[in-house]
Amino acid sequence: MAMDHTAYDAQQIQVLEGLEGVRRRPGMYVGSTGSRGLHHLVFEVVDNSVDEALAGHCRRIDVTIHKDNSVTVADDGRGIPVDDVPRVGKPGVEVVMTMLHAGGKFGGGGYKISGGLHGVGVSVVNALSEWLEVEVHRDGKRHAQRFERGRRVTPLRVVGKSARTGTTVTFKPAPEIFVETDYDSTILAGRLDELAYLNAGLVLTLTDERSGERREFTHKGGIVELVRSLNKNKGALGDAITIHRVRDGVEVDAAIQYNTSYLEHVFTYVNTINTVEGGTHLVGFRSALTRTINDYARRQGLLKNGDVSLQGEDVREGLTAVLSIKLPEPQFEGQTKTKLGNPEVKGLVESVVGEELAEYCETHPTEARKIVAKAVQAARAREAARQARELVRRKNALDVSTLPGKLADCAEKDPTKCEIFVVEGESAGGSAKAGRDRQFQAILPIQGKILNVEKARVDKMLSHEEIRALITALGTGIDKEFNFERRRYDRVILMADADVDGAHIRTLLLTFLYRYMPGLIERGKVFIAQPPLYLIRAGKKNYYAYSDVERDEITADLTKQNVPYEIQRYKGLAEMNPEQLWETTMNPATRTLLQVELDGGELDGAGELDQLFKTLMGDDVEPRRQFIQKYAKEVRNLDI
Ligand code: 0RA
């Protein structure tokens, strides 16, 4: 083909300007010149290999971090074409490495499926590298070419024979561009593992020559394995539902599995990019779920007459799912370009997921019924919470006249100086009322027996008179309308017998507070009173022991002094008279309180606690017992 020199020169200038532009504004192309951008270079190269895998030509991708923080990405794909590109007059490899956006624009037919952050292509990596070497195994030969700061320094040469095909790219990020040049193998490993889930069967390896560590990532089952591992030990309801369909050139993969928690974990991907801002695919997925489960519930008569219909949030309680779609021309929108905009995708995903889900329900009635039952329970809890909120809103919580009759309020009106004892049982409540300092201590007796603690569910609790009284007394409102500033007391102290029943009512109240007023626990405002276990009478003197160890210490002491004594084991709060209760359990100067804490805090502590509470409320007695023991260890001893 005759070369048009004018066009060629113009092309050359454009190429240089293009890559110079990348070097002038690297952040625009790779996000930043810090750690994020540095790692993005690797992801960009790996994504090119993943495209080969998606096209069905590549089975493994090996990533190596070298001692000098240069990185090699090797695949066993077809190899980047080495023939001259018509009109450009240069080998395909060189065009790919030096022209912006040249990535998927040639080679015929194939579209770029996996995404670099901006789909910028490997030329950006070249432009931002001190040097880059590419090796192509193709047509029985090994070809090599070297670039420095994006510019070709050797032409593409045949350097040997080869019996295989594939592409190997090695590059060293330019130190004048990147402020961070040390690779973090954990970050690379995380993405490679994610890619292994999103591309079932693909083998990815990471070798860190700085430490000698080598890891392999492969997940035969793809996203289903991811969902199963996310649900491990979370009380999965049946096995995961898997969906795999291609419609109108869009590949839809989904894995769905419910667990017994209240949490929703749905991860969505478009062309292997994690679409954290959601988009049309997620909207379609959600409406398919809501519609299909409602349809099934109604047809099977699982929704009672008085029931409200299931809303999106109901069918997503305890849902773990991964949705991964692949389409030729994704439009990414949003702040971080991680929101899918393609409008046609909504209906497409909705119908594919809807059809598959309906089919699953028909063929797996036992599992389907469990899922519906869970959603129905969520809907009832939502309705009960709404009614309770309504109740709280209707009655002005600050208006003393609407306060529950059983509440013995304190005289002090400044909430920061007040505390409330929530006391199990009428008689203990009576002692507490008589023994308290009425200036700042309020008492709310709760009838433990009325609440069937074995079977109580949170939605049932909300419809209960005792719990409503507690909500009104505390004044903060619940759930979405919780407002800490409206609290009527600064400390909520749960006071129950030191026996199994007491432990049950206490954990039940804690479950309630955790679910509907977590803001109180987070702020360290919830406490557990510590009544003594023993009274040791020695003549006119009374000693209180709060543990067996303490009892033994006291009696040993008395024996040493030859003082006769009598031990009484307290079976309940009611056995103490008001003065004793004040002295041992309520007087801030002498009492001990346990402060209830969310464990972990920053490390998904709420999630873990959620799980524990769920365990507690389930039907298994053994996990409940274990929880109570674990919980006892987790509360901090606090002297006030
Ligand atoms: C364009 C066309 C073809 C393959 C590739 C690019 C390709 C690019 C990269 C980047 C890293 N690994 C890669 N492997 C392949 C298709 C060539 C053909 O039709 O044989």
Summarised one tens digit per residue, pLDDT across range 527-548 is: 999 999 999 999 999 999 988 9
Q: In testing the pocket of ligand 1, which one of 42, 59, 75, 78 has its CB within 8 Å of the most ligand atoms?
A: 78
Tell me what the mean pLDDT of segment 607-634 comes to.
Answer: 39
Q: Is the pLDDT of residue 502 over 90?
A: no
Instruction: Quickly count: other Cβ atoms within 10 Å of residue 395's Cβ.
Output: 16
Q: How far is the CA of 152 from the centre of ligand 1 (A)?
A: 20
What SS3 class is residue 624? helix
Q: Is the pLDDT of residue 600 over 70?
A: no
pLDDT single digits (tens) 396-441? 544 556 788 899 999 999 999 999 999 988 788 999 999 999 999 9
Active site members: 424, 497, 499, 501
Structure confidence at residue 622 (pLDDT):
39
Question: Containing H/E element for 596?
Answer: none
Q: How far is the CA of 80 from the centre of ligand 1 (A)?
A: 4
Q: Is the pLDDT of residue 448 over 70?
A: no
Helix %, strand %, coil % of the chain (to 5): 40, 25, 35
Higher pLDDT: 459 or 428? It is: 428
Structure confidence at residue 608 (pLDDT):
40
Q: Is the pLDDT of residue 77 over 80?
A: yes
Q: Which atom of ligand 1 is nearest to the CA of 58?
A: 14
Structure confidence at residue 421 (pLDDT):
97
Structure confidence at residue 393 (pLDDT):
65
**Is beta strand 84-85 parallel, antiparallel or unpaired with respect to 90-91?**
antiparallel
pTM passes above 0.75: no
Ligand 1, CB within 6 Å, residue ranges: 48-49, 52, 75, 77-78, 80-81, 107, 167
Query: 401-531+570-598 — its CATH code?
Result: 3.40.50.670
Closest Cα to atom 16 of ligand 1: 107
CATH architecture classification, 223-382? 2-Layer Sandwich (3.30)
pLDDT single digits (tens) 217-240? 999 999 999 999 999 888 899 999
Closest Cα to atom 5 of ligand 1: 80
Which residue in 101, 95, 72, 89 sits closest to 167, CA to CA?
Answer: 72
Closest Cα to atom 8 of ligand 1: 80
Structure confidence at residue 143 (pLDDT):
98
Q: How far is the CA of 151 from the centre of ligand 1 (A)?
A: 21
Closest Cα to atom 6 of ligand 1: 80
Structure confidence at residue 321 (pLDDT):
97
Q: Is the pLDDT of residue 496 over 80?
A: yes
Q: Is the pLDDT of residue 463 over 70?
A: no
Confidence of residue 632 (pLDDT cuts 50, 70, 90): very low
Query: 20-217 — its CATH code?
Result: 3.30.565.10
Strand order from edge to edge, sheet including 534-538: 541-545, 534-538, 566-569
Q: Helix axis angle, 500-516 relative to 605-617, nearest 10°?
A: 130
Tell me what the mean pLDDT of segment 610-628 comes to.
Answer: 38
Which residue in 533, 507, 497 sits closest to 623, CA to CA?
Answer: 507
Q: Is the pLDDT of residue 92 over 80?
A: yes
Write b or e for each residue in 360-391: b if 16 or more Cβ atoms lie within 10 A of its Cβ, otherwise e.
bbeeeeebbeebbebbbbbbbbbbbbeebbee
pLDDT single digits (tens) 126-168? 999 999 999 999 999 999 999 999 999 999 999 999 999 999 9
Please say whether the beta carbons of 453 and 466 come within 8 A: no
Instruction: Quickly count: other Cβ atoms within 10 Å of residue 405's Cβ.
Output: 6
Q: Is the pLDDT of residue 208 over 60?
A: yes
Average pLDDT, the chain: 85
Q: Which atom of ligand 1 is nearest to the CA of 169?
A: 11
DSSP string across 289-303: HHHHHHHHHHHTT-S
Identity at 344, one-letter amino acid code: E
The 8-class DSSP code of residue 50 comes to: H
Q: How far is the CA of 51 from the centre of ligand 1 (A)?
A: 8
Please say whether the beta carbons of 87 and 18 come within 8 A: no
Tell me what the mean pLDDT of segment 345-350 comes to.
Answer: 98
Q: In testing the pocket of ligand 1, which one of 80, 94, 105 has its CB within 8 Å of the most ligand atoms?
A: 80
Closest Cα to atom 10 of ligand 1: 48
Q: How far is the CA of 560 from the centre of ligand 1 (A)?
A: 89
Confidence of residue 385 (pLDDT cuts 50, 70, 90): confident
**Is beta strand 129-138 parallel, antiparallel or unpaired with respect to 166-173?**
antiparallel
Domain boundaries, the chain: 20-217, 223-382, 401-531+570-598, 605-640
Please say whether the beta carbons of 359 and 377 come within 8 A: no
Q: In testing the pocket of ligand 1, which one of 45, 48, 195 has its CB within 8 Å of the most ligand atoms?
A: 48
**Is beta strand 566-569 parallel, antiparallel or unpaired with respect to 534-538?**
antiparallel
Q: How far is the CA of 226 from the centre of ligand 1 (A)?
A: 29
Confidence of residue 54 (pLDDT cuts 50, 70, 90): confident
Please say whether the beta carbons of 505 and 424 come within 8 A: yes
